[in-house]
Amino acid sequence: MDNRSKLMVGNWKMNGGLTANAALLAEILQGLPDVACRAAVCVPSVYLPQVGELLSGSALAWGAQDVSAHESGAYTGEVSVSMLRDMGVRYCIVGHSERRLYHAESDVVVATKAQRALAAGITPIVCVGESLAEREAGQTEAVVKRQLAAVIQANGHCISEIVLAYEPVWAIGTGLTATPEQAQLVHAVLRAQLQAASEHAERVPLLYGGSMNAANAAQLLAQPDVDGGLIGGASLKAADFLSMLKTASR
């Protein structure tokens, strides 16, 4: 909100490579002196050592895109919070719609992941959002409230330590963006729900995500309850990402 600097987070998804990562980050780092907002990139977990080394000591934080709901043990392919902590991550996205949809993550699993991250001192970026069918059926508010309620229930007063991202599923990677008014409406609903759960809810950054780009960022970020962005495609282009970071710095 007003006296809190914006938070802009790049979500690389399953993109990148050693050479491409180094080039992208070098270009972003060059532009960072002109950036006053908070910023981070969430990268594929195998690249966390590389990215951590390149960003160490810089103003750009790094994070993961998912974490296991389990602590340790026989969960082939999973990455635990303690492993993420070893890699120095500050943030971890949980409940991204691509995880909910393609990996059948339930509200309860997402809430458990948020809990694991918080317990390890990693800030979960909890994603909520409705599908196109849900929006058309007038269920937007009910869906995001249900998704957030599970996280509140599992995390109690610690809810004020999360970052919350509203990502309408129909706007992700589609080029369709929620209008600033549509985003603000849902953000206000989420803010009220957080406030009912914690007296410190004001400090929770509410990010908008879904085809945010250099052209539409300013209008979205001008909304009273939009505290930043979660940016997919446009975070893979240094010039675009930097331009959005500068917009968020105003």
The residues that touch ligand PGA, with contacts defined as CB under 6 A, are: 11, 167, 172-173, 209-212, 230-234
Q: Which candidate in 98, 130, 134, 167 is catalytic?
A: 167
In terms of Cβ atoms closer than 10 Å to its own Cβ (0-12, 13-18, 19+), residue 237 is: middle
Indicate the residue among 91 and 198 with the shorter CB distance to ligand PGA: 91
**β-pair partners for 125:** 93, 163
Do the beta carbons of residue 22 and residue 54 sit within 8 Å?
yes
The nearest distance, CB 90 to ligand PGA, in angstroms, is: 17
- Whether the CB-CB separation of 210 and 248 falls below 8 Å is answered with no
Q: Would you tell me how many other CB atoms lie within 10 Å of the CB of residue 134?
A: 18
Report the nearest approach of ligand PGA to the CB of residue 53 (Å): 25
Closest contact distance (angstroms) between CB of 74 and ligand PGA is 30
To the nearest 10°, report the CA torsion of 184, 187, 192, 193: 160
Residue 164 or 197: the one with the smaller Cβ distance to ligand PGA is 164
CB of 152 or CB of 172, closer to ligand PGA: 172
Is the separation of the CB atoms in 38 and 7 below 8 Å? Answer: yes
Residue 96 annotated in active site:
yes
- Give CA–CA dist 212/218, Å, rounded: 10
Comparison of 16 and 210: residue with beta carbon closer to ligand PGA: 210
126, 74 contact by CB (below 8 A): no
**Minimum distance between the CB of residue 131 and ligand PGA, rounded to whole angstroms?**
13
Residue with the closest Cβ to ligand PGA?
A: 232
Distance CA 185, CA 6 (A): 19
3-state DSSP of 55-110: HCCCCEEEEECCCCCCCCCCCCCCCCHHHHHHCCCCEEEECCHHHHHHCCCCHHHH
Cβ proximity to ligand PGA, 97 vs 198, nearer residue:
97
Q: List the catalytic residue out of 96, 130, 134, 187.
A: 96
Q: How far is the CB of 233 from ligand PGA (least distance, A)?
A: 4
Residue 167 appears among annotated catalytic residues: yes
Catalytically active residues are 96, 167
